[in-house]
Structure 1
Amino acid sequence: MANVRVERTEEGGFRATNARGAEVRIGSGDEDGVFTPVELLLAAVGGCNIVSVEPLTAKRGHRLLRLAMTVQAEKIESNKLGPVTVTYDVELPSEEADEVFRAVAGRVHEKHCTVSRTLQDGTEVRLKLP
């Protein structure tokens, strides 16, 4: 089971912490050095894709010279995002690597990225109050 704790800090900000002790500062976007909740969602989509694409491409014998991406979405309502777009920025060592990268990235997007699949399937979010 995946689990994070989100809490208000003594300084009045917010942070998310995982069981391994990593943390991310969260805010409204008015202050420096924080992610907004929407930015974290986009980072989760990008992170899920990129951490799968990298090893699968390398396993097929193609180490990409550069692998990065931009993940974007616009608000279509005050509380809803429109389509999320993942745009890769890669430098490939060969034409063969391009073919492998495209095949791997497509499979990861369509079948393997838990975050993207969850958004596409519209998974229910439940609220539990004390």
Structure 2
Amino acid sequence: MANVRVERTDDGGFRAVNGRGAEVKIGGAKDDGVFSPVELLLAAVGGCNIVTVEPLTAQRGHRLLRLAMTVESEKVESNKLGPVTVTYDVEVPSEKADEVFRAVAERVHEKYCTVSRSLSDGTEVKLELSQPDETESD
């Protein structure tokens, strides 16, 4: 099971922390030096794709000279994103490497990227509200 804890920090900001201790600062879209929640979603799509494409391409004997991507989306409503577009920026050493990269990137997008597939399939997000801690009164 994957999980992160999202919490308010002492300075009034927010952060997400995973079980391995890695931390990402979160803020509003206009806050400097932090990711907005929407940007984190886009980063998750990009990260899932790129960390899967790179080793699969290399396993097939083709190390890409440059591998980067841009992931973007626009809001179609005040609280809803439209389609997410992943655009790769690659430099390949040969035509064969380009063929392999394209085939791998397509397969990763269609079958292997958990984040993209979850968004495409409309994974349900559930809300559970815990009971507040009751403090003893004197």
TM-score range, shorter chain: over 0.9
Which range moves more in the overlay, 22-31 or 3-12?
A: 22-31
Give per-residue Cα distances to partners, 1:40-91, cap 9 Å, x unaligned.
Answer: 0000000000000000000000000000000000000000000000000000
Alpha-carbon distance between aligned partners in 1 of 2:50 and 2:56, rounded to the nearest angstrom: 10
5 Å-filtered alignment, 1:68-79, equals 68-79=68-79
- Partners of 2:30 and 2:40 lie apart in 1 by 15
Gaps of 5+ in 1: none
2:110 aligned partner: 110
**Count of aligned pairs between the two proteins:** 130
Q: Distance in 1 between matches of 2:37 and 2:106?
A: 26
How far apart, CA to CA, are the structure 2 residues paired with 1:31 and 1:87? 26
CA RMSD of aligned residues (A): 0.4
**Matched residue, 1:38:** 38
Q: Structure 1-normalised TM-score?
A: 0.99
SS in 2 for 1:30: coil
Q: Distance in 1 between matches of 2:116 and 2:93?
A: 28
Supply the distance in 1 between the matched residues of 2:121 and 2:29 (Cα, whole angstroms).
28
Q: What does 1:1-130 align with in structure 2 at a 5 Å threshold?
A: 1-130=1-130
TM value normalised by structure 2: 0.93
116-125 or 22-31, which moves further after superposition?
22-31
Matches of 2:31 and 2:81, distance apart in 1: 22
CA shift at 1:31, angstroms?
A: 2.0
Distance 1:31 1:81 in 2: 20
Structure 2: any 5+ residue segments left out of the alignment?
Answer: 131-138
How many percent of aligned residue pairs carry the same amino acid? 82
